[in-house]
């Protein structure tokens, strides 16, 4: 969308209860609300759930990562030679590890709630819907209503799992990534339909708990937006751990019974399991907002179009987070909210999301990347070289028994500018930020030789950067 025209000057007679109303308290809503409050704006926030945090805290990012952490530690314990001759632990269930996730959810929600209190932001609990471009109706759980008005409104309602028609999500053996947190039985075999980020993460979790997992991928490879080598490493690790990956498959129907489910695929295959996790796509939470009242229309995925300031085609209405689509990351959503708030407070904002947004995928092991892939650089005919470090050669990885994985640095053969960082292995989502910090330096500051000339603590996983940099520089032709 092109940049919107200047907002019309309001008449002095216009007055509103608030300078801004934020609908939703996920990362995008929080980023907008906090920054508007710090700009001395009077802010109200509407949250339909009983506690703040949005899907990020309650159903998505935090719960799945907490579950993943518990399972990863269990796997690490089982593989540690110090415990091979002691009593083996009982098999943990999904309910066991949910307890840890629940604790984290509570802590995060309580912390984020305190932010709103400290910044004197008014909180309304209920369902929000537009009356007009400056007015929002809040319907509370008891049926009572409040009508709020504001000069500016920010939509930060997030997204929810896509539910195709014909699949009975009310059945106790059929789950999506929200309802899986209510799983009460201990499945021995699980079907994960959809091999995107969420599907791959939960496939790791269930496999780590000892379940047999069938991962149904509607495409020809896992996570094709990642660097091919990193994606292939995950595919091999899944295969080696016993996960059955079925590529290029589409569902025909889901047959349910009291004992489990049978997934019928269009290829004619049938896959049987105790339950199915549907993890194939998401849709924006815009259907209950009464967008028609303000002349807005979401696309087929429930998403809204915005300009560089996150402004919709209605000048005083903004949208941030999952509800606008790409990149659909909690980290990016917070920055979008912050940038939108600055644009609202100042009329414009020179800040933008960084070009190279890091990706962290919390499979077991983790995957993370920032910048260009080899495939993108080759297609663009950019001359580059590759530096690699295998974790199995690092002392810290040997000490911690986290030897699966590697780090890859892509850099320009002439300028030595870092073009991409790709990592597979334990703590990959943390390790990648070391490389990102150097990538973001301008001019001569972004140079792969930095990793050779600096001194890293020893032993650390960060040492992988020195190893990879030397490996890549040694490949250069004089």
In the predicted model, is pLDDT for residue 4 greater than 80?
no
158 assigned ligand-binding residue: yes
State the Cα angle at 451 between 446 and 453, rounded to 5°.
105
Q: Is residue 1 part of a domain?
A: no
In the predicted model, is pLDDT for residue 281 greater than 60?
yes
Q: Of 296, 313, 346, which closes a domain?
A: 346
| Shared domain check, 247 and 324 | no
Tens-place pLDDT, residues 89-139: 567 788 888 888 889 999 999 999 999 999 999 999 999 999 999 999 999
435 assigned ligand-binding residue: no
| Shared domain check, 274 and 178 | yes
197 assigned ligand-binding residue: yes
Q: Is residue 468 part of a domain?
A: yes
194 assigned ligand-binding residue: yes
52 assigned ligand-binding residue: yes
In the predicted model, is pLDDT for residue 157 greater than 90?
yes
56 assigned ligand-binding residue: yes
| Shared domain check, 202 and 181 | yes
11 assigned ligand-binding residue: no
| Shared domain check, 119 and 189 | no
126 assigned ligand-binding residue: no
Confirm if 186 and 103 have CB atoms less than 8 A apart: no
Domain count, the chain: 3
302 assigned ligand-binding residue: no
Tens-place pLDDT, residues 64-77: 999 999 999 888 88
| Shared domain check, 417 and 459 | yes
Tens-place pLDDT, residues 178-194: 999 999 888 999 999 99
Q: At 259, which CATH number? A: 3.50.50.60
In the predicted model, is pLDDT for residue 1 greater than 80?
no
Q: Of 280, 297, 316, which closes a domain?
A: 280
Tens-place pLDDT, residues 299-324: 999 999 999 999 999 999 999 999 99
In the predicted model, is pLDDT for residue 380 greater than 80?
yes
Q: Is residue 67 part of a domain?
A: yes
pLDDT at residue 3, rounded to an integer: 41
55 assigned ligand-binding residue: yes
pLDDT at residue 332, rounded to an integer: 95
281 assigned ligand-binding residue: yes
Q: Is residue 312 part of a domain?
A: yes
In the predicted model, is pLDDT for residue 163 greater than 90?
yes
d(CA 317, CA 307): 11
Model confidence at 84, pLDDT cuts 50, 70, 90, reads: low
In the predicted model, is pLDDT for residue 88 greater than 70?
no
Q: Of 280, 314, 329, which closes a domain?
A: 280
Mean pLDDT, residues 411-415 taken together:
97
Mean pLDDT, residues 426-438 taken together:
96
300 assigned ligand-binding residue: no
d(CA 157, CA 420): 32
| Shared domain check, 455 and 426 | yes
Q: Is residue 39 part of a domain?
A: yes
40 assigned ligand-binding residue: no
| Shared domain check, 369 and 310 | no
Model confidence at 10, pLDDT cuts 50, 70, 90, reads: very low
409 assigned ligand-binding residue: no
Selection from 271, 352, 282, 269 nearest residue 310 by Cα = 352
71 assigned ligand-binding residue: no
SS (H, E, C) the chain: CCCCCCCCCCCCCCCCCEEEEEECCCHHHHHHHHHHHHCCCCEEEEECCCCCCHHHHHCCHHHHHHHHHHHHHHHHHHHCHHHCCCCCCCCCCHHHHHHHHHHHHHHHHHHHHHHHHHCCCEEEECEEEEEECCEEEEECCCCCEEEEEEEEEEECCCEEECCCCCCCCCCCCEEECCHHHHCCCCCCEEEEECCCHHHHHHHHHHHHCCCEEEEECCCCCCCCCCCHHHHHHHHHHHHHHCCEEECCCCEEEEEECCCCEEEEECCCCEEEECEEEECCCEEECCCCCCHHHHCCCCCCCCCCCCCCCCECCCCCEEECHHHHCCCCCHHHHHHHHHHHHHHHHHCCCCCCCCCCCCEEECCCCCEEEEECCHHHHHHCCCCEEEEEEEHHHCHHHHHHCCCCEEEEEEEECCCCCEEEEEEEECCHHHHHHHHHHHHCCCHHHCCCCHHHHCCCCCCCCCHHHHHHHHHHHCCCCC
Q: Is residue 450 part of a domain?
A: yes
In the predicted model, is pLDDT for residue 326 greater than 80?
yes
Full residue range of the structural domain in which residue 210 is found: 174-280
| Shared domain check, 205 and 264 | yes
Selection from 111, 112, 91, 92 nearest residue 100 by Cα = 92
Residues 6+ positions from 129 with CB-CB distance below 8 Å: 136, 137, 139, 288, 289, 290, 293
Q: Is residue 259 part of a domain?
A: yes
Q: Is residue 136 part of a domain?
A: yes
Cα separation of the two ends of the chain: 47
20 assigned ligand-binding residue: no
Q: At 454, which CATH number? A: 3.30.390.30
Confirm if 475 and 445 have CB atoms less than 8 A apart: no
214 assigned ligand-binding residue: no
Model confidence at 83, pLDDT cuts 50, 70, 90, reads: low
In the predicted model, is pLDDT for residue 6 greater than 50?
no
| Shared domain check, 213 and 245 | yes
More confident site: 367 or 1: 367
Tens-place pLDDT, residues 36-56: 999 999 999 999 999 999 999
423 assigned ligand-binding residue: no
| Shared domain check, 133 and 106 | yes
In the predicted model, is pLDDT for residue 7 greater than 80?
no
303 assigned ligand-binding residue: no
State the residue for tokens 């066991």: 96
| Shared domain check, 179 and 157 | no
Task: Please provide the average confidence, as pLDDT, over all residues in the chain.
Answer: 93
| Shared domain check, 406 and 323 | no
Model confidence at 78, pLDDT cuts 50, 70, 90, reads: confident
41 assigned ligand-binding residue: no
């Amino acid at each position: 969308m092109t940049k919107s025209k200047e907002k019309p000057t309001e008449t002095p007679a216009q007055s509103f209860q608030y300078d801004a109303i934020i609908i939703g308290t996920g990362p995008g809503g929080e980023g907008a609300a906090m920054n508007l409050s710090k700009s001395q704006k009077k802010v109200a926030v509407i949250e339909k759930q009983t506690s703040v945090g949005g899907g990020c805290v309650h159903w998505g990012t935090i719960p799945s990562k907490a579950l993943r952490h518990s399972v990863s530690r269990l796997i690490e314990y089982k593989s540690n030679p110090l415990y091979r001759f002691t009593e083996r632990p009982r098999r943990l269930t999904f309910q066991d590890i949910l307890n840890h996730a629940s604790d984290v959810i509570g802590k995060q929600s309580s912390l984020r709630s305190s932010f709103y209190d400290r910044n004197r932001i008014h909180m309304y609990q209920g369902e929000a819907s537009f009356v007009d471009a400056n007015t929002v109706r809040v319907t509370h759980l008891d049926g009572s209503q409040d009508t709020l008005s504001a000069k500016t409104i920010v939509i930060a309602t997030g997204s929810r799992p896509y539910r195709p028609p014909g699949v009975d999500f009310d059945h106790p053996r059929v789950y999506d990534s929200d309802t899986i947190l209510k799983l009460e039985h201990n499945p021995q075999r699980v079907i994960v339909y959809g091999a995107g980020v969420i599907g791959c993460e939960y496939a790791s979790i269930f496999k780590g708990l000892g379940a047999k997992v069938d991962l149904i991928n509607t495409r020809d490879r896992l996570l094709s937006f990642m660097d091919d080598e990193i994606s292939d490493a995950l595919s091999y690790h899944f295969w080696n751990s016993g996960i059955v990956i079925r590529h290029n498959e589409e569902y025909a129907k889901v047959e349910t019974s009291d004992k489990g489910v049978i997934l019928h695929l269009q290829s004619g295959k049938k896959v049987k399991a105790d339950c199915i996790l549907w993890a194939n796509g998401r849709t924006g939470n815009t259907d209950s907002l009464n967008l028609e009242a303000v002349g807005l229309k979401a696309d087929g995925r429930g998403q809204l179009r915005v300009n560089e300031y996150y402004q919709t085609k209605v000048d005083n209405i903004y949208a941030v987070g999952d509800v606008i689509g790409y990149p659909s990351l909690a980290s990016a959503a917070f920055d979008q909210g912050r940038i939108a708030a600055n644009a609202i407070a100042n009329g414009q904002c020179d800040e933008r999301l960084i070009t190279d947004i890091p990706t962290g995928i919390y499979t077991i092991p983790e995957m993370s990347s920032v910048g260009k892939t080899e495939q993108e650089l080759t297609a663009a005919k950019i001359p580059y070289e590759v530096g690699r470090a295998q974790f199995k050669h690092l002392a810290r990885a040997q000490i911690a028994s986290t030897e699966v994985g590697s780090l890859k640095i892509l850099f320009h053969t002439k300028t030595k500018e870092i073009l991409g960082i790709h990592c597979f292995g334990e703590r990959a989502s943390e390790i990648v930020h070391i490389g990102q910090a150097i990538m973001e330096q301008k001019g001569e500051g972004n140079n792969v030789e930095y990793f050779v000339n600096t001194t890293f603590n020893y032993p650390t996983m960060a040492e992988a950067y020195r190893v990879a940099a030397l490996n890549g520089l040694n490949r250069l032709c004089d």
